Structure 1
Amino acid sequence: MLIRNQDVRKGGFMARSNMTVAEMIGLFLDPAAPVQITAFDGSHFGDSAAPLHLEIKNSRAIYYIAENPNDLGLARAYLQGDLDSPDLQPGNPYQVFKDLVALKKYVKKPGKADLARMAAAIFSHGIRIPEPPAIEGPSLAKRLTEGLRPHTRKGDAATVSYHYDQSNDFYRLFLGSSMTYTCAVFEKPTDTLEAAQEHKLNMVLDKMNLKKGDRLLDVGCGWGSMEVAAAKRGIHVIGVTLAEEQVEWAQEWIRKEGLGDLAEVRLMDYRDVPESGFDGICSIGMMEHVGYKQYPSYFKEMMDKLRPGGILLNHQITRTNSHDNKRAGGFIDRYIFPDGELASPAEIELAIQDTGFEVMTQENLRQHYALTLQHWTENLQDNWEQAKTMVGEPKARLWGLYMAGSRLNFEINNIQVHQFQCIKPDPATGTYSYPLRPWWDR
C-alpha cells in the first residue's frame, strides 16, 4: 500500500514492529558515538552527557530519510521541524553541523539482514511518502517537463529568479548594509563584514586596473554594490542580473547616491548585452549558474565584450579537485541553486586559457568565505524572530541551514572560491603588456 500523507501521525509508527528508532540508529552508529538521540517512540540512543543532542519528533522524519537517505531527506526533516536539536542556535546550526561531522568515524555499515529488518519495521503499516516541504523547488525532471532546460536563457531566468527574487528586506537581515552576497575579503579576522565587503569591491576594481572614465560590465550584479563603488570612482558601469528584485533595489540605490549618469543596472542575460569594448568585466559569484559545459561559450562572450588589454576578473566557488561530480546534491538543487554546477580551479583555468585569455593571477579566498558566512549566520541568528515573520520559519531555517553548512564546508576545504585575473591579448600580437608586479592591495 502506497500512502502519500502530508501529516504523518506520531502514534502507532512502531505498532507492528518490535524494532525501535534507537535500535535502527544503532545499526549505523557505534554505541560510543558522542551523541544522544531521542525519538518520538520513547526510545533513546547514546549517553545524556554527550555533547550533541538530536530529537526525532515524529515518524515523518523517518519516512523522509528512508525515501532519500542523503542530504535531501535530512533537510526535509529539519525544515519541517521533524528533526531538531536543543543545542541548535536559532538560524545558525553551525555548531551542530560541526558536531555531526565528528560522528563520521563512528559510522557503521549494517548488513543486508539488518537493513531488511529495519525496512520491515518502517513499512510494516504501509509505505508512506510524505509531501516535501511547501518551500521545496521542483526536481530537474519536473523543470524539464516545464521546458526549463539547464543553462538556457529560459532555464537560467527561472532558476536565478527562484533563488534571488525573495524579499530584499530579508536578504538585508543577514547581508547587512553592503547588500553584497559574495565572499568578502578580510585583512584580519576581526574586520567588520562591511569593511571586508568594501575591501573586496575595491580589490576587484583595482585588479581590473580601472581608472576614471573607463567602462565596466558587471555580470550578475546582485543588488548593485559594485555599481555604486565603481561609479564613485568615476567609472561608467553596466550591471546585469536576471532577478527583478535586485534590479529594483539597485536602481533605487543608484538614484539615492546620485550616480545615474555613471551607473546602470538592467534585467538582462549577459549574453544579450549589446555593448562591447569594455575596459573591464567582473563576474563575482555568478559562474555557479553558468554550467560546466557552457564555460567555453561563456568565456568567449567575455572575450568578445572586452577591448584588447581589458581585464576579466572571474570570481567563483570551486570544487577542490577535478574528480568530484560537477552537479550539486539534491538539497542544493531543490532549495538553493537549481542547475548549479561547480568545477575545479584547474578546469576553470583551462577553459579561460583555451579561450585565448592570459591568466595573470589566481587567488584562493576559501578562508575569507568561511569568515563571510560566519557573519551572515550570526546576523540571521541575531534577527531570527524578524526573519521568521518575514518569510516563515521553514524558509528562515533553510537559509540558516544552507549558510552554516557552507561555512563548515569552506572551513574543512570541501569547497573553495577562486579569483582569476585575466587579460585579453592584442589579437595582432597575441600578447599585451601589464605592470611587472601586482599593483593592487591584496
Structure 2
Amino acid sequence: MTVQQPIPHEHTASRVIPRPSEGVWPGLAAVPHTRVKGRIAEGLFRRAVRSLPVRVELGEEVLGLGGPTMRIVRPDAFFRRLGNDSKIGFGEAYMVGDWTTDDLPGLLTPFAATLSTLIPPSLQRLARRWVEARQPTEEMNTVEGARENIHRHYDLSNDLFQIFLDDTMSYSAAWFAPGSDDLVEAQERKIDGILDMAGVTAGQHVLEIGTGWGGLAIRAAQRGARVTTLTISAEQASLAERRIAEAGVADQVQVLLRDYREAQGSYDAVVSVEMIEAVGERYWPTYFEALDRLLKPGGRVGLQAITMPDDRMRVAKNDYTWIHKYVFPGGLIPSVESIERSLADHATLRIAERRSLGQDYARTLNHWNRRFQERWAEVSALGFDETFRRMWEFYLGYCEAGFRVGYLDVFQLALTRENH
C-alpha cells in the first residue's frame, strides 16, 4: 500500500490522529451527508450502549454501565458514518479518529457478545434491504477475482507481516500448550496438530492449498514428506521459497503459483489452513470437489477453518462489511454445518475429527496486536500512514473480540472418506 505524508490533524485524548489523505483513502475523509440517518443511528446507539459494560464519553455525557472507555471525539461525524452503513461506518469512524479508546479489544468485546441483538431484528432486515451495501460483483472469487482479492491483502508487504508475526511466519490461529504463552511454540504445535490430522508421515506426497510463507511446508518436509504447495500470492511465493531454501528442504518442497481449481495430481494427504474463508460460498462446491479429486484413496485432509454459528452465517452471508472493504475482499466465514452440507453434497469426504482453537486465536491476535503496536516505528518506516495503523488496530482488535466471546471460532478438522 502506498501512503502519503500525514495531512492536517486533530488532537484526541490518546494521540494526534492525522486526517486521511483523499488520494490514498478515497471517500474516507468526507463525512456522509446523512443527517437524518445519523440521528436515527444516534438513537439506536444510545439504546444499545445503555445496557453494555462500557463507558461511552459523549461530550459531558457518559453512557453505559461502566467498563472500557470509548471517547466519541466528533459526534456528528461518528453518527453520520454509523447511519450511512453501520457495518462499515463504525470501523471507518475509528480509522479517522471520530472515536478512540485505550483498550480496543476490551471495548469491542461487549459489542461482539451482543452483535445479533444490538439492533432489533426488524431493523436489521430493513437495513439489509435498503441501507447496507452488498458485496461488489468484481470481488467474486473467480480465478482472476481471487488473485486480485488476495493481492489486496497478502501482497501488502512481506516486511509488514514479518514485523508482527512470529518467527514461523504463521498467519493463522496458534495452539497454546497449557501454561505456556510462547507464540512460536504454539504455532509449531498448531502445525503439527493439523499435519497429524492429515496423517502426514515420511515418504508421503502432500498437497498444501494456501502456502502462506512456507511454515507448514517446511514442517511437513522435516517429517520426511514431499510437499507441493499452492499460492496465488506472488509476494508470498517469493518469500516462502527463500525460507524453504534457508531451512534446507528446497529439494522436498515445490511452490506453485497456482489456484486450487487448477491443481492436478493425486496426493497421500491434503492440508489447507485458513484458506477456505477466501473461497466464497459460490465456490465451496468447487473447493470440496477439488479436495476429493486430489486425495488418493485412503488419504486424509487436514482442514483448519475459521467458523461462525450457522444461523448467523446464513443471515450475514451476503453482507458487505468493514472487513470486506478494508481487509479481506470477497471472503465468507463458513459454519461447521455449512462445511458438512457441502461435503455431503459435493464430496465423499466427511469430518472424522475436530478440535476447537477459538480461545487460542484470541490469544494469537493479542500477540500480533501487541507486536504491531510495539514495532509501529518499523511499520511506519515502510511507508504506512496513521490511517493504516488505526485500520490494522481495528482489524486485529475486532477479530480478537469475536473469538473472545465465541461469535467466531476456528476448527482443525480431519476429513476422511466414508468407507475409511
- Bin the TM-score by the shorter chain: 0.7 to 0.9
**Alignment partner of 2:291 out of 291, 298, 302:** 302
The residue aligned with 1:74 is 90
Query: Contact 2:57–2:63 at 8 Å: present in 1 too?
Result: yes
Structure 1 stretches of 4+ with a deviation exceeding 6 A read 21-25, 47-50, 102-109
> 1:405 corresponds to which letter in structure 2?
Y
Shift of 1:381: 2.3
The residue aligned with 2:362 is 370
What secondary structure sits across from 1:295 in the alignment? Answer: helix
Segments of 5+ residues of structure 1 without an aligned counterpart are 113-137, 426-430, 433-442
Query: Contact 1:30–1:106 at 8 Å: present in 2 too?
Result: no
> 1:280 corresponds to which letter in structure 2?
A
Superposed counterparts of 1:181-330, under 5 Å: 181-274=171-264, 276-322=265-311, 323-327=314-318, 329-330=320-321
> 1:163 corresponds to which letter in structure 2?
H
The residue aligned with 2:5 is none
> 1:200 corresponds to which letter in structure 2?
K
Shift of 1:411: 1.5
Distance 2:140 2:52 in 1: 45
What secondary structure sits across from 2:316 in the alignment? Answer: coil
**Alignment partner of 1:55 out of 72, 77, 82:** 72
TM-score by length of 2: 0.79
Query: Contact 1:316–1:417 at 8 Å: present in 2 too?
Result: yes
* 1:359 is aligned to 2:351: yes
Shift of 1:380: 1.6
TM-score by length of 1: 0.75
Shift of 1:359: 2.9
Query: Contact 1:34–1:50 at 8 Å: present in 2 too?
Result: yes
Aligned pairs, how many? 374
What secondary structure sits across from 2:412 in the alignment? Answer: strand
> 1:234 corresponds to which letter in structure 2?
G
Shift of 1:243: 1.1
* 1:423 is aligned to 2:416: yes
Distance 1:369 1:5 in 2: 33
Distance 1:399 1:376 in 2: 10
Distance 2:66 2:288 in 1: 55
The residue aligned with 1:332 is 323
- Structure whose residues are more often helix by fraction: 2
Shift of 1:57: 3.3
What secondary structure sits across from 1:264 in the alignment? Answer: strand
> Measured at CA, do residues 327 and 383 of structure 1 come closer, stay the same or move farther in structure 2, by a change above 3 Å?
farther
Distance 1:362 1:83 in 2: 40
Query: Contact 1:8–1:60 at 8 Å: present in 2 too?
Result: no
Query: Contact 2:135–2:318 at 8 Å: present in 1 too?
Result: no
What secondary structure sits across from 2:310 in the alignment? Answer: coil
> 1:307 corresponds to which letter in structure 2?
K
Comparing 281-290 and 26-35, the one that deviates more: 26-35
The residue aligned with 1:127 is none
What secondary structure sits across from 1:179 in the alignment? Answer: coil
What secondary structure sits across from 2:392 in the alignment? Answer: helix
Shift of 1:51: 5.0
Distance 2:377 2:61 in 1: 31
Distance 1:76 1:318 in 2: 25
**Alignment partner of 2:108 out of 97, 113, 116:** 97
What CA deviation, in whole Å up to 9, does each residue of 1:235-271 have, x standing for no partner? 1101111111111110111122222110121211011
Query: Contact 1:360–1:423 at 8 Å: present in 2 too?
Result: yes
Shift of 1:7: 5.4
Distance 1:210 1:406 in 2: 31
Distance 1:30 1:192 in 2: 38
Query: Contact 1:33–1:106 at 8 Å: present in 2 too?
Result: no
Comparing 369-378 and 175-184, the one that deviates more: 369-378
Segments of 5+ residues of structure 2 without an aligned counterpart are 1-25, 124-132
Shift of 1:397: 1.6
Root mean square deviation of aligned Cα: 3.3
> Measured at CA, do residues 420 and 327 of structure 1 come closer, stay the same or move farther in structure 2, by a change above 3 Å?
farther
Shift of 1:63: 3.1
What secondary structure sits across from 2:284 in the alignment? Answer: helix
> 2:95 corresponds to which letter in structure 1?
L
Shift of 1:233: 1.8
What secondary structure sits across from 1:340 in the alignment? Answer: coil
Distance 1:53 1:198 in 2: 37
What CA deviation, in whole Å up to 9, does each residue of 1:333-392 have, x standing for no partner? 101111111222122123224411243212222222122112112222222333333322
Q: Percent identity?
A: 25
> Measured at CA, do residues 321 and 58 of structure 1 come closer, stay the same or move farther in structure 2, by a change above 3 Å?
closer
